[in-house]
Structure 1
Amino acid sequence: MQFQQLMPVGYVKQPPLKTFVIAKIKKENTEKQIKLYKQKYHQYFYQHDYLKLVKQGKEKDHVLMLFCFPEDLEKMKVDFEVEEYIEIELPSIAPIHKDQKSLYNDYWNILHPNYEYPHKQNKDAALRMQQILDTKVTRNKCILYDEDNTIVIEAEDETHINNARHCVMVAMEKLAEHNKNENQQKHFHDLQYYAKEMTLVIYFEPCIMCAMALVHSRIKEVYYYQKRVVDGGLNDQLQLNNLKQLNHKYLVFYQH
């Protein structure tokens, strides 16, 4: 059984562009100009550090150096020996994977992204999913296992008891109780990230509520078999596992 990875928004899109100013510098002056630039403005492009500072120009006796934004050119150029300043459109955000990096390289030399997609799949995920397929009745079911591939919790949907008791919520409740029992000497708040480095395999795509609960639990990755028609939280549209404004992200793989 093979899963597809839920890719981040913008996985293969062309980058959004922003106007930068580059400096055309004679090769014999390169070392001096770079040293001066780093002394004076080493933090200037801290939000764009995926762009390399210097690249070879079309003319062999010149290099091109990332210099500034247009509005800062007049005040920044005073101390530099530059033959020409050129405005150019460059990617305004960093690439997130190798394929995107190759697109960005058409604009400028780009540093290697921090993340690579797709990620390797957990080797036991297919086995755990088959266990669910073999035993699932009418309710949703999930299996939670740790980095040693040991099953920690199994849970089923309990919405017949309470509408909010989806199987993810039941699993998180069981896991919290399990951790408290295993670590009586620790205060419960020490275990607030109680699913860290764990993998969840579940039949139905987690809903919005459950997807957010998995963020708070610091889950490592989620595998699901069937997408929800409505209210799914881990699909191409919502991707609650990968929101920039949240302080945790996790990987998602799906079958259908």
Structure 2
Amino acid sequence: MQQLLPKDFLATANIQQAIVVEFENKKTNFMIKKYGNDQYFNLKNLNHIKRIRKSEENPSNVQFFMRLKDDFNEEIEQNIPEEIKPYLLKEVEVAVNMPRTKEQFLQFNKYWPITYKVQQYEIVQFNDFEQQEINQIMRQCIDQAKQTYEKNNKFNACAIFDPNKKKILQFAVDETCRKQNSIKHCIMNIMKLFGENYIVTAQQKAITEKVKVKQDEDMNDSSKEMVQNTSQQEKEKKDEDRLEEEEEEEEKKKDKINVKRKSEESIEESLSSYYYCTGLDVFIVQEPCIMCSMALIHSRVRRVYYSLKNPKQEQFGGLNDDLMINHMDSLNHSFLVFQNVESEYANTTLKSNQQQDQLQK
């Protein structure tokens, strides 16, 4: 298994020369107020770079970041503000690529001070138990994919897993009949099923609440009746056998009501405990296409695990190294991706199915 990280997460520092102006520390506030947002001191897309640092040569001075050397032409130099001209201009090295990890931040920050925003992406290390759990879930998906392939569908299946409850909530398989224009991909199918089984509407909640109230009333009536019967029988003391039978019957009724109540509470809990797929993991045999990858974005999953790359990766795969929809800054959600989970078992199973197909033909 391999975590699929954006290329810039593994990048080294892209070092470029920059022009800074050095002046006395007492001028710092004045310079920041006057030129902190001035177009002349243009940071372009370098928002992670800090404006000021202390001078390494002279502790009583500070250095103010002006712009990259490549942007510092003769015209810019001639238009230097009057307050800046008396001061010394220097060249320094700066890392222009934004740090995505703490390790990168520590490396890049050695050149010129930068800021670091903790990313949603982190490099995950699994222990042996977690690795085994992931492999077992993927193997179940692969076995489901084998069965649906034998029914003339694509070799694909998926599962939604709750990492907190350690429970598979939903399975779904491909139902496209191997047609390119079908939208019955397993991801689309599982989102439909999950919505029907775990997402509740306001109207459904109201109905469930009414059922609970009715059950409570039945429970109270049954309890009152049991007390009245018991009191009467104790006073009369005529038919102890009948009293025992009635008590047993009432207990059975009470148990039935409790079972129904617990069942209803269980249903309500399952319906109301999930906001889309927030915090849930999706396991899928083959890499989701672009359409399914967008569905995963909208469903707000936590992680996606897949075994095999999309057969037409360049055209359709949405979570591979080339496209990585889950990492697009323009989208309002992102999630972690892990590839090659039980890929050997998946490849062996797929090849076996394909060989059987050829023999039948």
Instruction: State how 1:1-256 maps to structure 2 within 5 Å.
Output: 3-15=1-13, 20-25=18-23, 29-30=24-25, 32-43=26-37, 45=43, 48-61=46-59, 62-68=61-67, 70=72, 77-79=81-83, 83-88=87-92, 90-115=94-119, 117-119=122-124, 126-134=132-140, 135-136=143-144, 137=146, 138=149, 139-146=155-162, 148-149=164-165, 150-160=167-177, 163-180=182-199, 182-185=200-203, 194-231=276-313, 232-255=317-340, 256=343
CA-atom RMSD in angstroms: 3.4
Aligned to 2:220: none
Distance 1:90 1:173, change over 3 A: same
Question: C-alpha separation between the residues in 2 aligned to 1:12 and 1:207?
Answer: 25
The alpha carbon displacement at 1:253 in A equals 1.2
Distance 1:155 1:112, change over 3 A: same
Distance 1:204 1:223, change over 3 A: same
Question: C-alpha separation between the residues in 1 aligned to 2:12 and 2:27?
Answer: 32
Deviation string 1:155-208 (CA, Å, 9 cap, x unpaired) is 11112286321111111111222344x23348xxxxxx7222221112222122
| One-letter amino acid matched to 1:230 | K
Of 209-218 and 138-147, the range deviating more from structure 2: 138-147
| Larger strand share, 1 or 2 | 1
Counting matched residue pairs gives 244
Deviation string 1:6-48 (CA, Å, 9 cap, x unpaired) is 11122333455666431122xxx31x22211332244455953
Q: Secondary structure at the match of 1:213?
A: helix
| One-letter amino acid matched to 1:220 | R
| Larger helix share, 1 or 2 | 2
Distance 1:23 1:175, change over 3 A: same
Aligned to 1:190: none
Question: C-alpha separation between the residues in 2 aligned to 1:176 and 1:76?
Answer: 62
The alpha carbon displacement at 1:211 in A equals 1.2
Which structure has the larger Rg? Answer: 2
Q: Secondary structure at the match of 1:173?
A: helix
Contact 1:141 1:157 in 2 (8 A): yes
Unaligned runs of 5+ in 1: 187-192
| One-letter amino acid matched to 1:212 | M
Unaligned runs of 5+ in 2: 150-154, 205-274, 344-361
Counting aligned pairs with the same residue, the percent is 28
**TM-score normalised by L of structure 1:** 0.77
Question: C-alpha separation between the residues in 2 aligned to 1:225 and 1:240?
Answer: 18
Question: C-alpha separation between the residues in 2 aligned to 1:227 and 1:83?
Answer: 58
The alpha carbon displacement at 1:142 in A equals 1.4
Contact 1:20 1:67 in 2 (8 A): yes
Question: C-alpha separation between the residues in 1 aligned to 2:28 and 2:44?
Answer: 16
**TM-score normalised by L of structure 2:** 0.57
